[in-house]
């Protein structure tokens, strides 16, 4: 496994790590109340992320008010407004998409309730609308997927004039979908024989990933050399479609995806997936520590990037027993 570590908050070297302290009234012994709005339950990754948040809150003695938005931004906005009305101590959420957050975050700021983003980021002009973003660097994940693919194809001696790629994008407008695509395309720009011939959202789910891959196979069929999926769930759905079309996943069509959930390791061990790029959902403990630090009046890092690796199929069996999600 190739390991990359970039814990910006520890070295504090990056310009984007501006330590911000938001003075919150100390609790005087009462449990901290944290309102958390979750995207939904769309993938194995999200299930593991929810489990991490809930278990870490319990472990930290933090009262968690948890809301599942079922992948709808309007439900997240409603939940955040309800947390404000309940006067929670801290609000945290993983935003479905990057835009449309200013109004409700202004309301949280006016109510003097600090907001922590976990997992995904938002596009806001006023940086004081949230105190920290804790989660992966999605663009690097896209770069890692692209670099692994180019290296793999070159090592296999596959030097066709054009290597045709179909892409299953994550939820339209979401931070991971935007950035993973950008990172992957940055690598392709340096390798012009690699071409994306079809690209469509599969909304991070197995079902939609299968459905869109069926459509790709209908129009492109044996013309497809590679599938790049923005998450493992869509890749697993696509694998079913590839098999139902009488083709061999990971052999007829090279498949690289992102998340490194257990399902991806199982697919790699059965020879149906070539590589998964890690994106850790285990964000609960650092979120709860940040909430405690905020309530104690301590500074918290503006940006915390999780330490992640790349897992090609050849290491899957060895690594699988160590996987935590
Ligand atoms: C990434 C996360 C994405 C995962 C998907 O941090 O937001 O959403 O890659 C999940 O599996 O649905």
Q: Write the CB contacts of 245 (distance below 8 Å, at least 6 apart in sequence).
A: 214, 217, 221
Question: What whole-number distance in Å separates Cα of residue 270 and Cα of residue 268?
Answer: 5
Q: Domain 2-136+281-307 in CATH: superfamily?
A: Response regulator (3.40.50.2300)
Distance 296 CA to ligand 1 centre (A): 31
Above pLDDT 70, what percent of the chain?
91
Predicted confidence pLDDT, tens digits, the chain (325 residues): 444 444 444 433 333 444 444 444 456 679 999 999 999 999 999 999 999 999 999 999 999 999 999 999 999 999 999 999 999 999 999 999 999 999 999 999 999 999 999 999 999 999 999 999 999 999 999 999 999 999 999 999 987 899 999 999 999 999 999 999 999 999 999 999 999 999 999 999 999 999 999 999 999 999 999 999 999 999 999 999 999 999 999 999 999 999 999 999 999 999 999 999 999 999 999 999 999 999 999 999 999 998 899 999 999 999 999 999 9
Report the pLDDT value the prediction gives residue 27, as an integer from 0 to 100: 60
Determine whether the shortest distance from the Cβ of 279 to ligand 1 is under 6 A. Answer: yes
Determine whether the shortest distance from the Cβ of 93 to ligand 1 is under 6 A. Answer: no
Question: What whole-number distance in Å separates Cα of residue 120 and Cα of residue 192?
Answer: 30
Which residue among 73, 134, 144, 176 has the greatest number of ligand 1 atoms within 8 angstroms of its CB, and so is best to mutate? 176
Taking CA atoms, 140 is separated from 18, 88, 199, 305, 321, in Å, by: 21, 34, 20, 11, 26
Ranges of beta strands (E only) in the chain are 2-4, 33-38, 63-68, 90-93, 115-118, 132-135, 163-169, 194-201, 226-229, 254-259, 275-278, 303-305, 308-312
Burial class (CB in 10 A: 0-12, 13-18, 19+), 143: buried
Which residue among 168, 204, 233 has the greatest number of ligand 1 atoms within 8 angstroms of its CB, and so is best to mutate? 204
Q: Are 140 and 184 in contact, with CB atoms under 8 Å apart?
A: no
Query: Domain residues of the chain, as ranges?
Result: 2-136+281-307, 138-279
Q: 138-279, what's its fold?
A: Rossmann fold (3.40.50)
Per-chain mean pLDDT for the chain: 93
Report the pLDDT value the prediction gives residue 307, as an integer from 0 to 100: 86
Residue 224, helix vs strand vs coil: coil
Q: Is the alpha carbon torsion for 318, 167, 3, 261 positive or negative?
A: negative
Distance 47 CA to ligand 1 centre (A): 10
Determine whether the shortest distance from the Cβ of 46 to ligand 1 is under 6 A. Answer: yes
Q: Could you say which DSSP state residue 99 is in?
A: S
**Domains 2-136+281-307 and 138-279 in one fold:** yes
Report the pLDDT value the prediction gives residue 9, as an integer from 0 to 100: 41
Q: Write the CB contacts of 36 (distance below 8 Å, at least 6 apart in sequence).
A: 53, 57, 64, 65, 66, 67, 91, 92, 93
pLDDT tens digits, one per residue of 164-220 = 999 999 999 999 999 999 999 999 999 999 999 999 999 999 999 999 999 999 999
Q: Are 230 and 168 in contact, with CB atoms under 8 Å apart?
A: yes
Distance 176 CA to ligand 1 centre (A): 7
């Amino acid at each position: 496994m190739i390991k990359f570590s970039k814990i910006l908050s520890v070295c504090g070297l990056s310009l984007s790590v501006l330590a911000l302290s938001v003075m919150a009234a100390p609790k005087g012994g009462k449990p901290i109340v944290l309102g958390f709005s979750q995207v939904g339950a769309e993938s194995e990754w999200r299930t593991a992320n929810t489990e991490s948040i809930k278990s870490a809150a319990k472990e930290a003695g933090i009262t968690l008010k948890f809301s599942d938005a079922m992948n709808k931004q309007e439900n997240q906005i409603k939940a955040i407004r309800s947390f404000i009305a309940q006067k929670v101590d801290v609000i945290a959420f993983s935003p479905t998409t990057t835009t449309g957050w200013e109004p409700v975050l202004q309301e949280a700021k006016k109510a003097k309730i600090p907001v922590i983003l976990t997992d995904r980021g938002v596009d806001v002009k006023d940086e004081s609308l949230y105190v920290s973003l804790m989660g992966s660097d999605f663009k690097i994940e896209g770069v890692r997927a692209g670099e692994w693919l180019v290296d793999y194809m070159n090592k296999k001696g596959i030097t066709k004039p054009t290597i045709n790629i179909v892409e299953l994008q994550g939820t339209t407008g979401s931070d991971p979908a935007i950035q993973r695509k950008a990172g992957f395309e940055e690598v392709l720009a340096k390798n012009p024989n690699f071409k994306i011939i079809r690209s469509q959202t599969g909304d991070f789910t197995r079902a939609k990933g299968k459905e869109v891959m069926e459509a790709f196979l209908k129009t492109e069929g044996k013309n497809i050399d590679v599938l790049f999926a923005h998450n493992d769930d869509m890749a697993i759905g696509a694998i079913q479609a590839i098999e139902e079309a009488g083709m061999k996943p990971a052999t007829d069509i090279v498949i690289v995806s992102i998340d490194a959930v257990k399902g991806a390791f199982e697919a790699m061990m059965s020879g149906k997936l070539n590589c998964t790029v890690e994106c850790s959902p285990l964000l609960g403990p650092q979120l709860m520590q940040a909430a405690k630090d905020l309530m104690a009046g301590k500074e918290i890092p503006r940006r915390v990037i999780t330490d992640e690796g790349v897992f090609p199929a050849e290491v899957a069996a060895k690594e699988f027993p160590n996987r935590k999600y």
